[in-house]
Amino acid sequence: MTALLQVKDFHYYYGKIHVVKGVNMEVHEGEMVTIIGANGAGKTTTLQAISGLLPALGVRGEITFNGKNITSLGGEKIARMGLSQVIEGRHIFSKLTVHENLMVGAYCRKDKTGIDKDLERIFKLFPRLKERLKQLGGTLSGGEQQMLAIGRSLISNPKMILLDEPSLGLAPIVFREIFETIKEINEKEGKTVLFVEQNAKLALKTAGRGYVFQTGEVVMHDTGENLERDPEIRKAYLGG
């Protein structure tokens, strides 16, 4: 089976600093896959390179999405191909309303009827966004901003969503709600999901498979369940 996303012998350099060192990974259509690892392991760099947010000059190796080489493409072209990223820290437009933020995500779509249907679908996933439709993004709580960032990604109607640290800065009850919705997006909406998450326990319980990054390399990959049971993973990331 051909993977929807394939990363082959991927290296990334910030100048002379070798940050990611020969990563190989793949995500199949309909999967939910996580990347875990310590800070500085190359997780965010890998996601940003996949979605075209980093200069291609630093890339070595090959990244393919839906059968097409996207290694040297910019973020806009990659987004139009159906790959969308929710970046770390949410980065919603604080001076735009919730509705305006969502419409930014639909900038490359022309099908108004489809956009309206997808808006209603997003409001079912995140009812609070509908309640706050005319409210400025900057006045939302952290959890609501994360909902808005995910909704903005979804309205582009992507085949695959990348999420970078979706639980960052959120209270436990809020990030559990966010993860339940991400799971629903994967299972009921059929969206392929690849996410980086510092909360390894939550990540491995949510994902079907996981990759463990260490100092820029993949040191282990397996099902989420097997990784959660692995003694070394438990010791390093799950508190024993």
**pLDDT score for 240:** 57
**pLDDT score for 1:** 61
Per-residue pLDDT of the chain (240 residues; tens, 9 = 90+): 679 999 999 999 999 999 999 999 999 999 999 999 999 999 999 999 999 999 888 899 999 999 999 998 999 999 999 999 999 888 899 999 999 999 999 988 889 899 999 999 999 999 999 999 999 999 999 999 999 999 999 999 999 999 999 988 888 899 899 999 999 999 998 999 999 998 999 999 999 999 999 999 999 999 999 999 999 999 988 875
**pLDDT score for 108:** 82
Task: Report the run of H or E that residue 33 belongs to, with start and end.
Answer: strand 32-37
**pLDDT score for 26:** 97
Query: What is the torsional sign of CA 113, 116, 122, 123?
Result: negative
Residue 105 CB: number of other CB atoms within 10 A? Answer: 24
Burial 201-234 (b: 16+ CB within 10 A, else e): ebbbebbbbbbbbeebebebbbebeebbebeebe
